[in-house]
A and B are shown apart, each in its own frame.
Chain A
């Protein structure tokens, strides 16, 4: 946190005089952290607050260790990258997401340390970041509580296990809903005596090796993190693969079967 703040502050000072383009629009959530996060997350790229990027989450976090959130930027059309962040968390960035062959929509659960603005930013091909968000109230403490994982003596045997399911494509764009969970404590490093231990990267590919989505995951994701995505595997793909690693070198590797679809084999023939 301190490192991030210092870096952000430095960046803000360095870039202050060289700021190009029109002044930023006012932050609709009036966050005290916005002036720090803006250069840290978006550099000098243009930003706009945009209601087409929706963030669905409860108004009040019932469980500070697992707040559900869904970010949806499909109304923007093509999106190259999304960032999900909570301004007042000790680690603001929850995840970064590149929807390569996927809709720009992602849902997960995260830990919240105190009441905070919760936002999703989506970068369109013109380089503009479109930002939506809402305020989340919380009793907090989610980032400094020990994970429940350690209550089980054999927890280490299960790290990296994946539970997943893909649903039959639906809708006009024939995207496949994919939900997966990775067993991992996702330690923030803020609990005394427990070093940071969290999944850093996950990549989804179809069985033909085409990358569908890349995720950079961070400390605030809930233990045993769960993700919901809308992916577009190639027509001949029979399944998906998930590859990833945590910050201590542990690997995540899984093959996820796709539901059988009538005519899919025929469609795949040359």
Chain B
């Protein structure tokens, strides 16, 4: 088997079309606070051009080792992350946190298989139930970037608590609404909030597992925190809470509009090209995510306006 693989590698490396080199994310750590770096993703959807690099994973270098938050969309991404972290510090990886079950948060786990990978129990259950299907879909969406990627569920369940690594006190905040289990992490030492999937910044929120009412409550909980830097998992890093307000504004408009249209008798297909207010025009992948949201949210909303007649 190994001989065969080496042979295949030899052929591949000798192929003329390979001159451009293998796919690479070229991840660069960006310092955002003391001991704290992030890798900034694009504000797009998964494509073969971006390889699924649409997330803002990060890491905190503590005296006890490196805390990694999200591992990215593929094994290759996780490996590149690990190599990039090694350019900043020679400390070992201490622990990985995964904020929710969506594929770009944890498909890099294989690169961190030697350290504990922590997540909320609901996230672990979700990954075990849906991880294989999500992985297959990622291969379809981004192709060769996924090579060698296999699902690996987080290994350690965590709950709402404060954990200390060296001089960093991390508050683990269990939320829900974006998915059934959303982990936000506030570094009380630096004031950096890794908001998980709950906050989007100039990037249209994704709703495949959303419960809008619970999500709005989660935003209220984050609004109340003392934050110096907010790391949304998708979109621009901010030193204020504008991204929380933007996410709330979008979700409120989306839910209200779909409910209003359902009450007026609209069909799901008629909602696909509905006008979206100009104030949302700056959000990435606006129309595409809006249409996905219609698919996720409409059937349940429709149930509330069609009355039982027999």
Chain B residues in 8 Å Cβ range of A135: none
Q: Measured between alpha carbons, how far is A68 from B274 in the docked complex, in Å? A: 14
B131 to chain A minimum Cβ distance, whole angstroms, is 15
Q: Is the CB of B272 within 8 A of A179?
A: no
Q: Is the CB of B307 within 8 A of A165?
A: yes
CB of A200 within 8 Å of the partner chain: no
Q: Is the CB of B295 within 8 A of A177?
A: no
Partner of A161, one of B302, B305, B308: B308
Chain A residues in 8 Å Cβ range of B307: 163-165
Residue of B nearest to A229 (CB): B267
CB of A139 within 8 Å of the partner chain: yes
CB of B19 within 8 Å of the partner chain: no
**Which residues A133-186 have CB closer than 8 A to chain B?**
139, 160-165, 167, 177, 179-181
Instruction: Render B264-304 as a binary contact track against A, CB cut-off 8 A, 1 for contact.
Output: 11011110110000000000000000011011101100110
* Size category, B interface: 20 to 34
Chain B residues in 8 Å Cβ range of A56: 269-270, 272-273
Number of chain A residues whose Cβ lies closer than 8 Å to a Cβ of chain B: 30
Q: Is the CB of A58 within 8 A of B309?
A: no
Q: Is the CB of B265 within 8 A of A177?
A: yes
Beyond A63-B295, A139-B137, A165-B305, is A70–B270 a contact (Cβ under 8 Å)? yes
Chain A residues in 8 Å Cβ range of B208: 62
Chain B residues in 8 Å Cβ range of A62: 208, 291-292, 295-296
Q: Is the CB of A162 within 8 A of B310?
A: yes
CB of A228 within 8 Å of the partner chain: yes
Chain A residues in 8 Å Cβ range of B308: 161-163
CB of A47 within 8 Å of the partner chain: no
CB of A255 within 8 Å of the partner chain: yes
CB of A254 within 8 Å of the partner chain: yes
CB of B306 within 8 Å of the partner chain: yes
Q: Measured between alpha carbons, how far is A228 from B264 in the docked complex, in Å? A: 13
Q: Is the CB of A161 within 8 A of B310?
A: yes
Q: Is the CB of A57 within 8 A of B265?
A: no
A180 to chain B minimum Cβ distance, whole angstroms, is 7
CB of B140 within 8 Å of the partner chain: yes
Q: Measured between alpha carbons, how far is A56 from B17 in the docked complex, in Å? A: 40
Chain A residues in 8 Å Cβ range of B270: 56, 70, 107
Q: Is the CB of A179 within 8 A of B295?
A: no
CB of A253 within 8 Å of the partner chain: yes
CB of A226 within 8 Å of the partner chain: yes
Partner of A109, one of B268, B296, B306: B268
Q: Is the CB of B272 within 8 A of A68?
A: yes
Instruction: Render B206-232 as a binary contact track against A, CB cut-off 8 A, 1 for contact.
Output: 001000000000000000000000000
B285 to chain A minimum Cβ distance, whole angstroms, is 12
Chain B residues in 8 Å Cβ range of A86: none
Q: Measured between alpha carbons, how far is A160 from B309 in the docked complex, in Å? A: 11
Beyond A63-B295, A139-B137, is A257–B309 a contact (Cβ under 8 Å)? yes
Q: Measured between alpha carbons, how far is A66 from B265 in the docked complex, in Å? A: 19
Q: Is the CB of A179 within 8 A of B267?
A: yes
Chain B residues in 8 Å Cβ range of A226: 268, 302, 306
Q: Is the CB of A139 within 8 A of B272?
A: no
- Residue pairs across A and B with Cβ atoms less than 8 A apart, 22 shown, are A68-B267, A68-B268, A68-B272, A70-B270, A107-B267, A107-B268, A161-B308, A161-B310, A162-B308, A162-B309, A163-B303, A163-B306, A163-B307, A164-B309, A167-B264, A179-B306, A181-B302, A181-B306, A226-B302, A226-B306, A253-B310, A256-B309
